[in-house]
Amino acid sequence: MTQEWDAGRLDSDLQGVGFDTLAVRAGQRRTPEGEHSEAIFPTSSYVFRTAADAAARFAGEVPGNVYSRYTNPTVRTFEERIAALEGAEQAVATASGMSAILSIVMSLCSAGDHVLVSRSVFGSTISLFEKYLKRFGVQVDYVALADLQAWEAACLPNTKLLFVESPSNPLAELVDIAALAEIAHSKGALLAVDNCFCTPALQQPIKLGADIIMHSATKYIDGQGRGMGGVVAGKAALMKEVVGFLRTAGPTLSPFNAWIFLKGLETLRVRMQAHCASAQQLAEWLEQQPGIEHVYYAGLPSHPQHDLAKRQQSAFGAVVSFEVKGGKEAAWRFIDATRMISITTNLGDTKTTIAHPATTSHGRLSPQERASAGISDSLIRVAVGLEDLVDLKADLARGLAVL
Ligand SMILES: *Cc1c(COP(=O)(O)O)cnc(C)c1O
């Protein structure tokens, strides 16, 4: 009974509603208690009415929960809400962003398959492909994110998957997702997009032709730095494989974290709007400062892919990177002069963060690899939070003053 309490009302009323309505309401099923907010179900297992009921549920003949590695009502609400927001047929939650990527590759690729990855992806994503997947016979090559001809040229007869992060971290490069999806499909391959930096509030890759997307929910979906999690979404036929892997291997999301993320999703678009508005102001302001050599932000007309960003995203994101004059020493002086902004490599938080990519997130790359990724010693990355803009400027001005 719990599941039917107002499910009919929700399912019929949520047809054709807008993004913000889905963000607040999609996927919720109330229990007979009538709770207004979503219930948390911290349970590992479920009881059956009879032995025959247990058998029918295990056989999948009757819908219902069996074990929380398979399904959990709070987690399912989160999955249905993400699917609704991404315009995907189905979503499945994972314990972290990395386990979302792992589950995509483990479920869709086999030994002997070839995977193409954009060069500028998250550091652990590269380690996962380089150190582990290669060991299991998956062939991996890297391509410059924005270069469509290079993607096409790098495809081999056994290319199974193209994996990209757009916009990239920390330099905010983009790829034309619709064009890349066409290339992938013409080669018989799938396109997967890490949509972490935009979230569905700014970009919906599946609507642009991508086959599958994933998130680190740890970032903007939570938005307040409280928990780890991830999610994969896509067409039902592909998701069947991903769900199968997750149920077997087990890096599934805890109900408590699913609940945190549900609360995060309810404010996702207003938060993203505020993050992006401040990021735009800061990027424009930084570009005017004498100690700054270059600002990387897709909302600036100086960004080489500004027009693509306008077409593909509804806003430009909240990560602003810039090079200061004076190399690593000046960059470190700048960072150490700030007093409010948090020195940490995390992002997607209400609290603004500042980091030096060359010696942190990209510190393990060789100098040549860093240079080819465009990460110079004078680069600083700011992930803009929700503090007052005037206070952010005042704190960054402390950095500018010591250049
Ligand atoms: C953080 C991050 C990940 C990994 O997510 P975790 O939740 O830390 O496992 C993957 N991709 C991007 C773009 C990220 O920022």
Identify the CATH number of the domain defined by range 9-266: 3.40.640.10
The least confident of 127-131, 180-184, 207-211, 294-298 is 127-131
Closest protein CA for atom 4 of ligand 1:
97
Beta strands in 65-120 (DSSP E): 90-94, 114-118
212 neighbors 192 (Cβ within 8 angstroms): yes
**pLDDT interval class at 7 (50, 70, 90):** low
Which phi-psi region, left, alpha or beta, contains residue 375 (left: φ > 0; alpha: ψ -120 to 50)?
beta
The pLDDT, as a whole number, for residue 9 is 58
Measured from the Cα of 347, ligand 1's closest atom is 15
DSSP character at residue 132: I
Beta strands in 90-197 (DSSP E): 90-94, 114-118, 139-143, 159-165, 190-194
Q: Which residue has the tokens 């081999």?
A: 156
The pLDDT, as a whole number, for residue 101 is 98
- Comparing CA positions, the residue from 115, 284, 288, 110 lying closest to residue 189 is 115
Measured from the Cα of 196, ligand 1's closest atom is 13
State if residue 93 touches ligand 1 by the CB under 6 angstroms criterion.
Answer: no
Average pLDDT over residues 61-66: 92
The pLDDT, as a whole number, for residue 3 is 47
Q: Per-domain residue ranges for the chain?
A: 9-266, 269-401
Measured from the Cα of 100, ligand 1's closest atom is 9
3-state secondary structure of 213: strand
- Comparing CA positions, the residue from 39, 43, 63 lying closest to residue 53 is 63
Cβ neighbours around 301 below 10 Å, total: 8
State if residue 198 touches ligand 1 by the CB under 6 angstroms criterion.
Answer: no
We find that the CATH architecture of domain 269-401 is Alpha-Beta Complex (3.90)
The pLDDT, as a whole number, for residue 13 is 73
Which tops the pLDDT comparison, 29 or 381? 381
The pLDDT, as a whole number, for residue 2 is 42
Report pLDDT digits (tens) over 135-181. 999 999 999 999 999 999 999 999 999 999 999 999 999 999 999 99
66 neighbors 46 (Cβ within 8 angstroms): yes
| pTM of the complete model | 0.95
Q: Measure 251 CA to ligand 1 centroid, in angstroms.
A: 15
The pLDDT, as a whole number, for residue 371 is 85
Backbone angles phi, psi at 45, to 5 degrees: -140, 180
Average pLDDT over residues 389-397: 98
Q: Measure 152 CA to ligand 1 centroid, in angstroms.
A: 26
Measured from the Cα of 228, ligand 1's closest atom is 7
Closest protein CA for atom 7 of ligand 1:
97
**Residue 8 pLDDT more than 80?**
no
Closest protein CA for atom 2 of ligand 1:
216
Q: Measure 311 CA to ligand 1 centroid, in angstroms.
A: 25
Cα-based distances in Å from 261 to 136, 239, 251, 256, 389: 33, 21, 17, 9, 26
**Residue 12 pLDDT more than 70?**
no
Closest protein CA for atom 1 of ligand 1:
216
CA angle in degrees (0–180, nearest 5) for 348-351-357: 60
